[in-house]
Amino acid sequence: MFPSITQLKNEQLLHSGSTLKCSGILARSANNLIYLDVDDAYIHHLFPLLTQPGINKPNYFGNGMAGAHISVIYLEENRVFNPQDLGKEYLFKINELVIAEMNLKKYFVLLANCPDLVQLRAKYGLAKQLNFKGYWIDLHITIAVSRLDKAL
């Protein structure tokens, strides 16, 4: 199943995002999420540029949490992962800003292009898209979340 995707026009946000560092370090969370650790400015600096009512920053900050990130292998997908792959730097490119609707939420995300992360997923026998609770999704950085019943 694929989420409902709507492109969101916000030139100021995309321009500001283009000034941020487009690289991150591969890491593993305490609950075994494999992710690319990116600059927290992707959320802290870009979130205020969204004007939709009822949005919130994603709950990614605090002790032991990932902060701004690109999920690479979700818990449900991760069978065996070689720790030697952690700590490597990956470059990515931001493609566009979209809203993805799924699981009664709207996710405001920057879609990211990173062939090397797709290749890493393939190394572990995984599809190029991530499987998040039964939804096939592209690599992305979530910058805001709202309930699906909130108006745009």
Tens of pLDDT, residues 70-101: 999 988 886 788 999 999 999 999 999 999 99
Does the pLDDT value for residue 141 go beyond 50?
yes
Write down the pLDDT at residue 81: 87
Domain boundaries defined on the chain: 4-147
pTM: 0.90
The continuous run of DSSP H or E covering 107 comes out as strand 105-113
Does the pLDDT value for residue 110 go beyond 80?
yes
Task: Tell me which residue has tokens 């990956």.
Answer: 90
Q: Which two tokens stand for residue 37?
A: 């650790």
Q: Which two tokens stand for residue 116?
A: 């090397």
What is the largest distance, in Å, between two alpha-carbon atoms of the chain? Answer: 45
Question: Which pLDDT tens digit goes with each residue over 19-60?
Answer: 999 999 999 988 889 999 999 999 999 999 999 999 999 988
CA distance 99 to 15: 18
- 129 neighbors 138 (Cβ within 8 angstroms): yes
Write down the pLDDT at residue 152: 45
Write down the pLDDT at residue 147: 87
Average pLDDT score, the chain: 90
Identify the CA nearest to 13 among candidates 108, 114, 97, 91: 97
Q: Which two tokens stand for residue 80?
A: 């065996």
Task: Put residue 11 in one of left, alpha, beta given phi > 0 → left and psi -120 to 50 → alpha.
Answer: alpha
pLDDT-based confidence at residue 103 (cuts at 50, 70, 90): confident
Q: Which two tokens stand for residue 5?
A: 């995707």
Write down the pLDDT at residue 149: 66
Write down the pLDDT at residue 129: 93
